Chain A
Amino acid sequence: MESGSSTYTSARLWRSVDPDQLLWNGWDDEHVVYHRPSGRTHFLNAASAALVQYFLVEPRSTQAVAMSFPPPDGPADSPEHHEEIALLLARLEHLGMIERI
């Protein structure tokens, strides 16, 4: 499902769900978020948390996310990094933390 959706997500925009749906706690750059609609708890690293909490409050494309969250070692515009970001976004969508518009 995730690989299937990532092929055409580039043209789409992503946005975080209504902030009321998420409860946050964080310690030492690690974040524990409660997703109200599903009742599930998710564990996010600092980058994923920043993505959901701040960056995607405004709708952005996969490309924009890839460029703003470069890999620690390597260029932000590589196809591998783009694919990794696409998978991450698909996973966050699957969990109900972001949505495509």
Chain B
Amino acid sequence: MTTPESVGRAAHEVRKLLNLVVRQPERLPELSLPDLDLTLRAARRARLLGHLGYRLRDQGSTNQLPQVALDQLHGGMAMADARARLASWELDRIAWAMSSGRQVPLVVMKGCAYLFLRLPNAPGRLFADVDLMVAENDLHYVEEVLEDMGWESAELTPYDDNYYRRWTHELPPLTHVEREVEIDLHHNILPRTARLKPSGERILAQSHRLPDSRYAVPCDEDIVLHAMVHLMFDSDLADKLRDLVDIADLLDHFAGADAAFWDRLVLRASELDLRRPAYYSLRYASRLLDTDYPERIAGEIRRWAPPWIVVRIMDRLVPRALYPQHPDLPSRATELARLLLYVRSHWLRMPPWLLAYHLSVKFLRKNLRLA
């Protein structure tokens, strides 16, 4: 029956299987049927089904799988395709809405940038919202134009609305009345209150317009750094293996095309005050997903580390959070690790006094509703 040992073994098994198929998807058909079953369940939780489906299809190794396994991969691919289609159409309509009037720069971020640049991690990637970055001075202009053209601001409580506008780096999400996709308009990649202070202007300054498009994309380094800061400094890491896979795929792609990419990345991480998230991302991408970075930058990256005790703690917590739990044998230690990282993510996003206030409002609201 369930013992601490069996729970530990189960967690280890999930990690081992996911690592194998993320690095070598072509080996999925080699798995025993129970292992294949567990892998698909874990991949679904990690939002990696579509990703695996596309990888396998590219390698032509799908026909060796049982039909039920194929059906699940196809389902994951269809879901990811549908989300990508909705996001692309939303961007098309935003470009249309913004086609007259002031030509303010609109920079697509994250999933939308991967999609526009046809980056290798885009196919099968399940993404949630449309992320757009504009200059802080243009934020209200863009919001006004979109609201005139049928988009509506999310209805928030006055506390939340004020919280967004005053303390974060984005507006409350906008949604068109006839569609469901949420648009997040940012002027930076981290909240105003965050510990780290990257410069939104610098990211915009290095962005470049796509040919035949209303949109720009950030430079390659900034695309990677944004993924890194988003995972390591703006999330609780729970079930976020997919985000680390993004980072590994992006590094592989950009550095594979040009080895000097590593040097530019190191330089840019310093310029944008993003050394620490870059340190953690490279650490876990290399430890968990075998990402290789050259010796010549290793020394520099080591200097970005926090005190060793923090590294030791993070080494214990991060993998536990990133990988999904075994669906039948969840571990309490993992729940605790996730709770700690959840608190950390808030700690990184806001100063202590604001954190205390924010959590107390959330707490009161939750408990008043229950009462």
Contact = CB atoms under 8 A, between A and B. Distances in A.
Q: Is A in direct contact with B (CB under 8 Å) within the complex?
A: yes
A37 B148 contact: no
Interface of A is mostly: loop
Given A37-B88, A38-B85, A38-B89, 11 more contacts: A1-B148, A1-B149, A1-B150, A4-B148, A37-B89, A37-B92, A39-B82, A39-B86, A39-B89, A96-B89, A96-B93
Interface in A66-90: none
A60 B149 CA distance: 24
Interface in B71-130: 82, 85-86, 88-89, 92-93
A37 B93 CA distance: 10
A78 to B, nearest CB: 29
Most chain B Cβ neighbours within 10 Å, of A1, A39, A96: A39
A96 B148 CA distance: 18
A41 to B, nearest CB: 13
Nearest to B85: A39
A20 to B, nearest CB: 15
Contacts of A4: 148
A96 B88 CA distance: 13
B92 A96 contact: yes
Interface of B is mostly: helix
Q: List the 5 closest A-B pairs by CB distance, nearest first.
A: A38-B89, A39-B85, A1-B149, A1-B150, A37-B89
Interface residues of A, number: 6
Interface in A18-39: 37-39
Interface string A36-68: 011100000000000000000000000000000
A67 to B, nearest CB: 27
Contacts of B88: 37
Most chain A Cβ neighbours within 10 Å, of B82, B86, B89, B148: B89
Interface of B: 82, 85-86, 88-89, 92-93, 148-150
Contacts of B148: 1, 4
A39 B148 CA distance: 24
Contacts of A38: 85, 89, 92
Nearest to B150: A1
A39 B150 CA distance: 19
A96 B179 CA distance: 14
18 contacts: A1-B148, A1-B149, A1-B150, A4-B148, A37-B85, A37-B88, A37-B89, A37-B92, A38-B85, A38-B89, A38-B92, A39-B82, A39-B85, A39-B86, A39-B89, A96-B89, A96-B92, A96-B93
B114 to A, nearest CB: 18
Nearest to B82: A39
A4 B86 CA distance: 26
A96 B85 CA distance: 14
Nearest to B179: A38
Nearest to A38: B89
Nearest to A4: B148
A92 B250 CA distance: 39
A4 B366 CA distance: 43
A6 B85 CA distance: 29
A38 B93 CA distance: 10
B19 to A, nearest CB: 34
A37 B89 CA distance: 6
A91 B150 CA distance: 13
Contacts of B149: 1
A39 B81 CA distance: 10
A39 B90 CA distance: 11
Nearest to A37: B89
A4 B147 CA distance: 13
Nearest to B178: A94
A38 B148 CA distance: 21
Contacts of B93: 96
B89 to A, nearest CB: 4
B179 to A, nearest CB: 9
A83 B267 CA distance: 59
A1 B93 CA distance: 13
Contacts of A39: 82, 85-86, 89
Interface string A1-23: 10010000000000000000000
A37 B87 CA distance: 10
Contacts of B150: 1
